[in-house]
Structures are given as structure tokens and as C-alpha cells.
Amino acid sequence: MVVGLTGGIGSGKTTVLNLFKELGVPVFIADVEAKKLMNGSTEIKKRIVALLGQEAYVDGILNRPYIASKVFKDRLLLSKLNAIVHPQVHKALNSFAETHTHHNYVLYESAILFENKNEHLCDKVIVVTAPLEVRIQRVVKRDQVKESEVLLRMEHQWSQEKKVEKADFIIENDDDAGLQKKVIAIHKKITS
Ligand code: ATP
């Protein structure tokens, strides 16, 4: 079973993910896997260079600022890049789930799970939420960026309300001390 874990920027996905990890749940982080594939797969590298040019890699390592500067102002280019990377990430998720069948479920973390229409990869989806102002202040503090920068990043994501509508489980991460209890309660529901 694959359980998706998503939520907007600053909601606390990584924090929640770590609590599930402590319970022994195997975790698959979409971003990390995508980076691994973009840096490690010769086939993917070839296709990215064909799409974005030689500058996409410097000394064989992904040139992230260059790629971001190209794709974030060009939706078509972004969807072409996604079409190269996403199917491979999905394959990696499938084999990750297959190698962990002795566990009740694996957790698949993706900030833009719904935006990328990836809920079909999941049996259940958990959405982590927090009040908007709390999320903004967390990211300002964590990344040492301005509020306006956080708001800009948020524009690329669905609203929290829209995500909640599609959730099987919701974890309210509003700075209370009961986060671990909430995670344990959902873990029990999933495994019972
Ligand atoms: P992003 O989408 O940007 O990766 P995220 O949803 O993974 O964000 P986290 O990195 O888990 O969010 O949390 C953002 C920041 O808020 C971190 O610095 C984290 O330590 C802090 N934080 C998260 N949850 C709590 C909490 N319940 N209490 C206090 N701080 C928290």
C-alpha cells in the first residue's frame, strides 16, 4: 500500500514524515528521488540536455539555477521536463513499494502530489495543514527569505482548502505539542 503525504509549503510535511519514519514506516521522497535520477541516470541526462542544452549540467551535476530559470517562465518546457522525469520517479516508487511489501505501507511524500495529478499512485492520502500565517513565518525563519518570496512560492501550489477536500486523513500541524499523537493515531488507522 502506498500512502501519499502532501501539504503546502511550510505546513510541516518533512516534520511529519520524520515522525512516521520513527515508527518504522519506509519513506519515499519524490523530490529526492527525482534529483537522484536527474543526476544519476545517463538516459535521463541525455534527454534533459536535448531539451535544455549542455548548460543543464556542470561537470556532470545538475545545474539547478539554470534549469529553474528556464522552466519557471515557460510552462511548456516545464511540462516537457516533467514528462522526462516523472514517469521514472513513478517507476522508482513502484519498485520501492514492491521491495517493502513486508511493511503495511510505504509513505510517498510530494509537495505537489495533487497538482501533478499523482493521487492515482496512492491508496490513501494524508494532507498536512497549518494556518497560512504560521506557514509563512516558518519558511521565513527556516530559509531566511522575505515573506514576499514565500508568497511567490505558494502561488505555484494549490490552496490548502483544495487539498483538504481530497484528503483521506488530515494532520493539523498548528504548533501544538500533540503532533506525534496525531501521527500515531493515523498510523494505527492505516494499519488496523
Ligand atoms: P516545504 O514544503 O517548504 O519543504 P514542509 O511542509 O516540509 O516545507 P517543514 O520543513 O517540515 O515543512 O517545516 C517548516 C519549518 O517549520 C521547519 O523549520 C520546521 O522545523 C518547523 N515546524 C514544522 N512543524 C512545526 C511545529 N509543529 N512546531 C514548531 N515548528 C515546526
Q: What is the CATH number of the domain that holds 68?
A: 3.40.50.300
Residues 110 and 189 in one domain: yes
What is d(CA 79, CA 74) in angstroms, rounded to the nearest whole number? 9
53, 73, 99 - which closes a domain = 99
Do 171 and 190 belong to one domain?
Answer: yes
Domain range for 157 is 1-26+104-192
* 8 and 83 housed in the same domain: no
Gap from CA of 11 to ligand 1 centroid (Å): 6
pLDDT of 175 higher than 80: no
C-alpha of residue 12 to centroid of ligand 1, in Å: 4
Q: In this predicted structure, what is the pLDDT of residue 184?
A: 97
Same domain, 56 and 139: no
Q: Please state the rounded mean pLDDT for residues 9-20.
A: 97
**How far is ligand 1, taken at its centre, from the CA of residue 135, in Å?**
8
Question: For 55-62, what is the mean pLDDT?
Answer: 95
Same domain (yes/no): 84, 124: no
pLDDT at residue 177, as a whole number: 83
Rounded percentage of the chain residues whose pLDDT exceeds 90: 92
Q: What digits encode the pLDDT tens for the residues 114-169? A: 999 999 999 999 999 999 999 999 999 999 999 999 998 898 899 999 999 999 99
Identify whether the C-beta of residue 63 lies closer than 8 Å to the C-beta of residue 70.
no
Domain boundary among 69, 99, 129: 99
Same domain, 117 and 191: yes
Residue 22: its pLDDT value, please?
Answer: 97
C-alpha 115 – ligand 1 centre gap (Å): 20
Q: How far, in Å, CA of 129 to CA of 135, rounded?
A: 9
How many domains does the structure of the chain reveal? 2
By alpha-carbon position, which residue is closest to atom 28 of ligand 1?
175
pLDDT of residue 156: 83
Q: What percent of the chain has pLDDT over 70?
A: 100
Task: Kindly tell me if the per-residue pLDDT of 47 is higher than 80.
Answer: yes
Answer yes or no: do 87 and 44 share one domain: yes
- Count of residues in the chain: 192
Q: 74 and 84 in contact (C-beta within 8 Å)?
A: no
Both 118 and 92 in a single domain? no
Q: Indicate the residue among 99, 126, 150 that finishes a domain.
A: 99
pLDDT of 176 higher than 80: no
Same-domain status, 20 and 42: no
Q: In which band, very low, low, confident or very high, does the pLDDT at 73 lie, cut at 50, 70 and 90? A: confident
9 pocket-lining for ligand 1 (C-beta < 6 Å)? yes
56 shares its domain with 128:
no
Same-domain check for residues 37 and 123: no
Is the Cβ atom of 156 under 6 angstroms away from ligand 1? no
Q: What is the mean pLDDT of the chain?
A: 95
Residues 17 and 38 in one domain: no
Q: Which of 6, 13, 15 to mutate to test the pocket of ligand 1 (most atoms within 8 A of CB)?
A: 15
H-assigned helices in the chain: 13-22, 30-40, 42-52, 64-71, 75-99, 132-143, 147-154, 160-165, 179-191
Can you tell me the mean pLDDT for 61-69? 93
Closest CA to 56 of 46, 42, 158: 46
Angle at 112 between CA 32 and CA 168, to 5 degrees: 110
72 band by pLDDT with thresholds 50, 70 and 90: confident
